[in-house]
Amino acid sequence: MNALRVPLIRDGLIATGVVGRDRIQKPKVLENVNILEVGCGGGILSEKLARLHANVVGIDPSEKLIAVACEHAKESRDLIQDHIQYHVETIESHASKNPERYDAVVASEVLEHVGDKVAFIEQCVSALKPGGSIFITTLNKTPASWLGAIVGAEYIFKLVPEETHDWDKFISPLELQRILSCYNCKTILLHGMFYQFWANQWSWTKNTEINYAIQAVKTVES
């Protein structure tokens, strides 16, 4: 999924002017950009962003996953640990100490596991600078997502453990955009994402029935 997520974040920050267009081909394209990944898990995405020289903070409530992320960063040969910090922490705790600190907040494959989505998004946005972007990838709440993400991924192809997902916690793009707008975030991008299990790769699609990605920009208050 990083093949989609990293360009999504990089290009999204260029499109909104946080990153200059002249830097798009440079290896340090995200230099001096502050990014928070909420629910970073083992750091798979955080590391990729750090390799582009973003200043990345990854938070997760799981001590075990943060330990894995820290250990993997230490083993890196390209000194990404200089650009990355991991903390065992919830978004509520972190946001309260870091108001409007980040140029981008990322919540990838997290929202479908969250009960109180309104509170979660409110806290994510509070840590975001005005003019910054929140990037979310998650699962739509449709019959197709139930068949694909639960029946297919969990029970037929065994891609993830059974009961990983709860369809009742999935959310439609329309509902997600509504919540974001309540916290002064304007959606500027919505893409569908499709997993080709036979090739083990992800691709963009116009179809948002299963997986989708959203970028929303926090309004600059006048």
pLDDT in tens, 171-205: 999 999 999 999 999 999 999 999 998 898 999 99
What's the rounded Cα separation, in Å, for the pair 5 and 45? Answer: 8
How confident is the model at residue 81, as a pLDDT?
81
Residue 11 counted as domain residue: yes
What element of type H or E holds 57?
strand 55-60
Residue 36 counted as domain residue: yes
CATH number at residue 212: 3.40.50.150
Express as a percent the part of the chain with pLDDT over 70. 99
Hey, what are 92's tokens?
């509520």
Domain that holds residue 205: 2-140+171-218
Span 116-133, average pLDDT: 98
How confident is the model at residue 189, as a pLDDT?
99
pLDDT in tens, 70-104: 999 988 877 688 899 999 999 999 999 999 999 99
Neighbours of 201 (CB within 10 A): 12
Q: What is the DSSP string of 133-148?
A: EEEEEEE--SHHHIII
Cα angle 111, 150, 160 (rounded to 5 degrees) comes to 80
Hey, what are 49's tokens?
């962003």
How confident is the model at residue 144, as a pLDDT?
97
Residue 145 counted as domain residue: no
Residue 127 counted as domain residue: yes
How confident is the model at residue 79, as a pLDDT?
67
Residue 161 counted as domain residue: no
| Alpha-carbon Rg for the chain in angstroms | 17
| Cβ pair 63, 70 in contact under 8 A | no
Residue 25 counted as domain residue: yes
Residue 18 counted as domain residue: yes
In total, how many domains does the chain have? 1
pLDDT in tens, 134-164: 999 999 999 999 999 999 999 999 999 999 9
pLDDT in tens, 30-74: 999 999 999 999 999 999 999 999 999 999 999 999 999 999 998
The pTM for the full model equals: 0.97
